[in-house]
Amino acid sequence: MSTPVIGVLALQGDVREHLIALATADAVARPVRRPEELAEVDGLVIPGGESTTISKLAHLFGLMDPLRARVREGMPVYGTCAGMILLADKILDPRSGQETVGGIDMIVRRNAFGRQNESFEAAVEVSGVEGAPVEGVFIRAPWVESVGAAVQVLAEHDGHIVAVRQGSALATSFHPELTGDHRLHGLFVDMVREKLEAGSL
Ligand code: GLN
């Protein structure tokens, strides 16, 4: 069975933690900062951080258009927190000039769960993740206001959507890379492996 090569967009955020989580989930994991590096991966994680900063840096590094193109072509992608915002086709409260990569037909509200000092942890049942609930770490986390028909809602917290999937694109409001529980990374590695085995990359 092929071992997927999965990149972590390394412009800002918990890059190291994602690399470790992916390696633990049996992928070859590499940081991605340049278009040539993006071209070599089978899938990509977009970490949390600050979505406006990540989108500005992506432009600066010449990555925004290649990212959009690969996501449009069906490269598996997983966005956590700010990464979820970057995968939204629409942001409810964008900063002026804030752009996204897009890929998931959803409207996301930034900082929806409150400010930095209102960050929290909560047990979240995620559909497709076997066993006990996932410990969700929410840091100035967004939530999903609404989704289109093609989007599968995987989890809710307090009545708000916090995990979604559309085809090969996965997004969570929370940060699974910080907990040592790598089941969500495992789910993503399986998505990449399925895509590779279908020969559609
Ligand atoms: N609130 C941040 C944003 O708008 C996301 C926070 C995070 O990724 N932890 O980008």
pLDDT tens digits, residue range 126-139? Answer: 999 999 999 999 99
Question: What CATH number corresponds to the domain at position 113?
Answer: 3.40.50.880
Choosing from 110, 118, 162 the residue with most ligand 1 atoms within 8 A of its CB, the one to mutate for a pocket test is 110
Biggest CA-to-CA distance, the chain = 46
Burial class (CB in 10 A: 0-12, 13-18, 19+), 170: buried
In sign, the C-alpha dihedral spanning 62, 51, 103, 192 is positive
Whole domain around residue 81: which residue ranges? 5-197
Confidence band (pLDDT; 50, 70, 90) for 116? confident
Q: Rounded to the nearest whole angstrom, what is the distance from the C-alpha of residue 20 to the centroid of ligand 1?
A: 21
3-state SS assignment for residue 150: coil
pLDDT of residue 79: 98
Number of domains in the chain: 1
Residue located via tokens 């929410």: 138
Q: Which amino acid is at 79?
A: G
Confidence band (pLDDT; 50, 70, 90) for 184? very high
Q: Rounded to the nearest whole angstrom, what is the distance from the C-alpha of residue 190 to the centroid of ligand 1?
A: 26
Is 182 among the residues known to form the active site?
no
Determine the average pLDDT of the residues in 189-197. Answer: 96
